[in-house]
Amino acid sequence: MEPITRSQAASSDNGGSLAANATTPVNLPEIVKGAIGACAKDIADYATIQGRDARQLRDATSEAIYQSTSHLAQHVNRGNAALAEGFNESFTVVAA
């Protein structure tokens, strides 16, 4: 996977729903682009990041990590619930 550039982050669509069900792939770059894109769009590509920009980038990165981890955990939990439901149905059929 290629790293996200500032131009890609600035052009991301923030209007879409990030909800996914157990059968759809997890699209984490959309989550990460939203958190970091707003901070990175005001920074030049080759600029040295210091002071306020560094703090904002640090906070945005922390938020992106939190959101992506949370989203991934929810996705795994939905997948596990669907798997458990499938096992329960198969045991019900075998028992009958």
Q: Per the domain annotation, does 78 fall within a domain? A: yes
Q: Please indicate, yes or no, if residue 15 is contained in any of the structural domains.
A: no
* Tokens 């030049």, residue located: 44
At 7, is the pLDDT very low, low, confident or very high (cuts 50, 70, 90)? low
The total domain count for the chain is: 1
| Residue 13 in domain | no
Q: Are 1 and 46 in contact (CB under 8 A)?
A: no
> Looking at residue 8, what is its pLDDT?
52
Alpha-carbon span 22 to 39, nearest angstrom: 31
Please report whether residue 60 resides in a domain.
Answer: yes
Give me the domain span that covers residue 84: 28-39+48-95
Across the range 78-93, mean pLDDT stands at 81
pLDDT band at 15 (very low <50, low <70, confident <90, very high): very low
Is 20 inside a domain boundary?
Answer: no
Q: What is the pLDDT of residues 61-84, one digit of tens each?
A: 888 888 888 888 888 998 888 888
7 in a structural domain: no
Dump pLDDT digits (tens) for 24-58: 565 666 766 776 777 777 777 788 888 988 898 89
Domain for residue 6, yes or no?
no
Considering the domain boundaries, does residue 12 fall inside one? no
d(CA 75, CA 57): 26
DSSP code, position 11: T
User: Greater confidence, 48 or 14?
Assistant: 48
pTM for this prediction: 0.53
Secondary structure in 3-state letters for 23-61 = CCCCCHHHHHHHHHHHHHCCCCCCCCCCHHHHHHHHHHH
